Amino acid sequence: MSIRKMISLHPTAKDNVTLADAAHHLMYCAKMAASCADACMAEQMDMTQCIRMCLDCSDVCEATGRLAVRRTGNDQPMLRELLELCARMCEACAVECEKHGHDHCKLCAQICRECAEDCRNAAVSLA
């Protein structure tokens, strides 16, 4: 089952595929960034800033994803701002991860950039 399907089954919410796709990416990005932070802790070099960025990104994605799937009521202006903030957080995390040659950081940067793009698109879709 997909989050897109779950959102489409909501009895009163307008179907927004772009937002559903962002919610899907947000869930994955949150977990990938948390996993990257854990891998960074095991590295032999100082990865303090990368760990911090990944954990912050994970938390912001998690919160944004939770709000994105709540379709009852209407708080589109706040959700739009949160999606835009999340896009900036994901980009910042990607920049930090790209400073390192570790495969886990490369993968995290990739999902962060994809998530940022989906968040920006979803924010526009809420206009």
Compute and round to an integer the Cα radius of gyration of the chain. Answer: 15
pLDDT at res. 4:
75
Cα angle: 86, vertex 98, 27; to 5 degrees? 35
pLDDT at res. 110:
98
Identify the CATH number of the domain in which residue 38 sits. 1.20.1270.360
pLDDT at res. 58:
98
Let me know if residue 103 belongs to a domain: yes
Let me know if residue 74 belongs to a domain: yes
How many structural domains comprise the chain? Answer: 1
Q: Which domain holds residue 95?
A: 15-125
Q: Provide block-wise average pLDDT over 10 residues at a time, the chain (127 residues).
A: 72 78 94 98 95 98 93 84 98 97 96 98 90
- One-letter identity of residue 121: N
Q: Which residues contact 24 (CB under 8 A, 6 or more apart)?
A: 2, 3, 4
Let me know if residue 43 belongs to a domain: yes
Let me know if residue 96 belongs to a domain: yes
Let me know if residue 6 belongs to a domain: no
Let me know if residue 69 belongs to a domain: yes
Q: Whole-angstrom Cα distance, residue 37 to residue 46?
A: 12
Let me know if residue 40 belongs to a domain: yes
Q: What is the DSSP letter of 9?
A: T
CA dihedral sign of residues 85, 29, 32, 105: negative
pLDDT at res. 13:
65
Let me know if residue 2 belongs to a domain: no
pTM score of the predicted model: 0.91
pLDDT at res. 7:
73
